[in-house]
Amino acid sequence: MTNDPVHLVAVIGAGPAGLFAARALAATGARVILLNRDIKPGGLAEYGIFLNKYKMKGGLRRQFQKILTDPRVTYLGNVVVGERGALRVSDLRGAGFDALVFAIGAQGTKYLGIEGERLPGVYHAKDLVYHYNRLPPFSEQHYPIGKRVVIVGVGNVMVDIANYAIHFCDADEVIAVARRGPFEKAYDDREFEDVEDAFDRELYRKEIERVRPHLAAVGQDADQLLSALARRPEPDTRARTKLSFRFLASPRRVIAANGRAVALEVEETRLDRKGDRISAVGTGEITLIPCDTVVFAVGDRVDEDAGLPYKDGLYVTAPGSETDPAAAYQVWDPATGAPMEGVHVVGWARRASDGVVGRARLDAETGVKHVLAKVKAAPGRSPEEAERAVNALVDTIRARGVPTVTYPQVLELEAKERARAAADKVEEYKFGSNREMLEELTR
Ligand SMILES: Cc1cc2nc3c(=O)[nH]c(=O)nc-3n(C[C@H](O)[C@H](O)[C@H](O)COP(=O)(O)OP(=O)(O)OC[C@H]3O[C@@H](n4cnc5c(N)ncnc54)[C@H](O)[C@@H]3O)c2cc1C
């Protein structure tokens, strides 16, 4: 280590965006402390990417390990920053960092505000995804999946939820419900291959015929969809579950009997074109889709309780990003009409539910460029001073009674999990609660 002055940056959130931000910062010589809500790093790369994509998750873990073993990066897991956390944003702002980079993802739920949305058997995708990927405390809660599962939304997350219901539960039918039509689907065909074995082509053809006049009304050709279907190779094996689509249906409420979901009530829609934009317009006609489980896979919002200015599902960033790209990463306080100096957002914390890991990485790296441009104007401090500041923050957190987890401890947990997986002859094993992980670390 040289004695050149260094800048000290706290990155909050150790998902892909936070980790790649930490890497980009450390590469310029900055000293980074990485604070993460979960005991383990990785965010949705660890707890979102589908449970059996072992190769992809393993590859990302290896990349993250390189970042987390860099001596310029100190990782602390089990540390929530926010109104109800171990540290508040104001604590961090008062701790003398040259910059704070919030990479805390989109942890808020996008409720549609319809009746029955919180009934038993009605879930929001993120919670269920966290559950089956074994993120505490979701791993400790029950999310029973019934026989007839409706998923609201037609993005890649819908495909993952369908995959779970089809291949890891006992569902007979899975129905993906969309407000708009088949041309507005948002999932990737490559991802859909994972559920192709359950996809009921006959039901799809019928659904396309049913909506054909609506498609024609906005200049869309149903035959294009049918010929694309005919070109798709048939899967080698067939799942027991049937996967179908229900287009042009806008959820109105979840109907319950004896306190449990029995149907999703939808309003039929028609398509409307304004330039390139296709929207759904309610027709007033009501239909019931019988089901026992409803999963809303409609994207998420950022966490309102993180202590950053919040509006309409996002943190508020500075105006003027059309002419100054840095503004889009700079947190802005509408109460004072001024930037929150030194406070930035990247990744899904900046644009909720936006894209894959590669996109979160690019966003973090772009954000860090803007952060560094500002930070470089500050004088920096000696490496010893930076160490003292990092240690002082660690002491503050521990003094608040929070059992923090370091990266060597994460590696210790992962080694124990691998040993369990080998003993149980399974691909992967994950401790199911924070208590269990913390106890393992004291053994
Ligand atoms: C179901 C699902 C499946 C996906 N599958 C794929 C896939 O197959 N391939 C792919 O490339 N991408 C996939 N993605 C997208 C990918 O996961 C995201 O692009 C990426 O994880 C976003 O990174 P992020 O760091 O912005 O947010 P996140 O990954 O959400 O990370 C946020 C981090 O912040 C921490 N945090 C949250 N709140 C706080 C707080 N208050 N204080 C401190 N720390 C906090 C969390 O512990 C977490 O570690 C999937 C996403 C989902 C939802």
Residue pLDDT, tens place only, 48-100? 999 999 999 999 999 999 999 999 999 999 999 999 899 999 999 999 999 99
The alpha carbon of 11 and the centre of ligand 1 are apart by a number of angstroms equal to: 15
pLDDT at 1: 57
9 close to ligand 1 (CB < 6 Angstrom):
no
Which amino acid type is present at position 204?
Y
Q: Given the CA of residue 42, which atom of ligand 1 is nearest to it?
A: 49
Tell me the three state secondary structure of residue 281. strand
CB of 45 closer than 6 angstroms to any ligand 1 atom: yes
What distance in angstroms lies between residue 436's CA and the mean position of ligand 1's atoms? 23
Q: What is the pLDDT of residue 289?
A: 98
Where does residue 171 rank: exposed (0-12), middle (13-18), buried (19+ CB within 10 A)? buried
The span from the CA of 167 to the CA of 303, in Å, is 31
* β-pairing verdict for 260-274 and 249-257: antiparallel
**Sign of the torsion formed by the C-alpha atoms of 111, 114, 118 and 122:** negative
Q: What pTM did the predictor assign? A: 0.96
The low-confidence residues of the chain, meaning pLDDT below 50, are none
Contacts of 150 (CB under 8 A, 6+ apart): 174, 175, 177, 264, 289, 291, 293, 294, 295
Q: Give the angle subtended at the CA of 20 by the CAs of 36 and 394, to the nearest 5°.
A: 35
Rounded to the nearest 5 degrees, what angle is found at the Cα of 411, between the Cα atoms of 407 and 412?
115
How many other β-carbons are positioned within 10 Å of the β-carbon of residue 260? 14
What is the pLDDT at residue 31? 97
Is residue 383 within 8 Å of 31, Cβ to Cβ? yes
Alpha carbon distance 312, 351 (integer Å) = 12
What atom of ligand 1 comes closest to residue 126's alpha carbon?
Answer: 53
Which residue has 């001596």 as its token pair?
71
Tell me the per-residue pLDDT of 327-372, one tens digit each, with 9 for 90 and over.
999 999 999 999 999 999 999 999 999 999 999 999 999 999 999 9
